[in-house]
């Protein structure tokens, strides 16, 4: 399944262009995930009506929200293709790996905060340090499956592998 991501006029391009590189990259990650992931975490997206959504991205204590109107809409595929190469190229594959790492990190951060656990405490529970947990949460590293499993256990959560409901 792949959704089409569209943006409003030049407002969106101007807004994105005004942000620093790290924030722009995180927004690109979330937009790419929105295209491909069937059920995106509600932290990132809010359904407004019909096929209209509000995008929310939190980075370094700031929350960036964007939404669209029903006219002057453009495909975001062209932007991603120009910045990260066409789908299937090594550059786009690397971008998508970073997008998944960022998304997973945000899910882990939210779960840790919900448990009212510090990065230091989570690190102790899995045999790592605070810096390592911070790098995972910020999507700077792509942890192994065993590390993700350890984190999930330390947070009192579980993993289920199930077929999607159609």
Q: In sequence order, which residues have a C-beta less than 8 Å from that of residue 156 and are 6 or more positions away?
A: 115
pLDDT greater than 70 at residue 93: yes
Q: What are the extents of the domains in the chain?
A: 6-84, 90-154
What is the predicted pLDDT for the residue at 83?
84
- Which tens digits make up the pLDDT trace of 62-84? 655 555 444 344 567 777 888 88
What is the predicted pLDDT for the residue at 31?
76
DSSP state of 58: E
Q: Please state which of the four CATH numbers 3.60.110.10, 3.40.50.2300, 1.10.540.10, 1.10.260.40 is assigned to the domain occupying 90-154.
A: 1.10.260.40
Note whether 7 and 76 are within 8 A (CB): yes
Q: Around Cβ 22, how many Cβ atoms within 10 Å? A: 11
- Which tens digits make up the pLDDT trace of 148-163? 999 999 999 988 887 7
Q: Around Cβ 29, how many Cβ atoms within 10 Å? A: 22
Note whether 55 and 30 are within 8 A (CB): yes
The pTM of the full predicted model, rounded to 2 decimals, is 0.66
């Amino acid at each position: 399944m792949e959704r089409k991501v569209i943006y409003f006029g030049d407002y969106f391009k101007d807004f994105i262009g005004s942000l620093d590189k790290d924030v722009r990259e995180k927004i690109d990650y979330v937009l790419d995930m929105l295209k491909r992931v069937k059920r995106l975490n509600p932290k990132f997206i809010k359904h407004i009506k019909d096929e209209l959504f509000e995008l929310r991205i939190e980075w370094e204590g700031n929350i960036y929200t964007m939404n669209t109107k029903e006219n002057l809409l453009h495909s975001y595929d062209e932007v991603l293709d120009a910045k990260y190469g066409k789908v299937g190229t090594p550059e786009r594959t690397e971008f998508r790996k970073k997008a998944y790492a960022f998304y997973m990190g945000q899910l882990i951060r939210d779960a840790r905060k919900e448990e009212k656990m510090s990065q230091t405490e989570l690190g102790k529970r899995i045999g790592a340090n605070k810096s390592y947990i911070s790098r995972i949460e910020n999507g700077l590293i792509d942890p192994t499956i065993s590390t993700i499993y350890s984190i999930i256990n330390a947070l009192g959560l579980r993993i289920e592998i199930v077929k999607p409901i159609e």
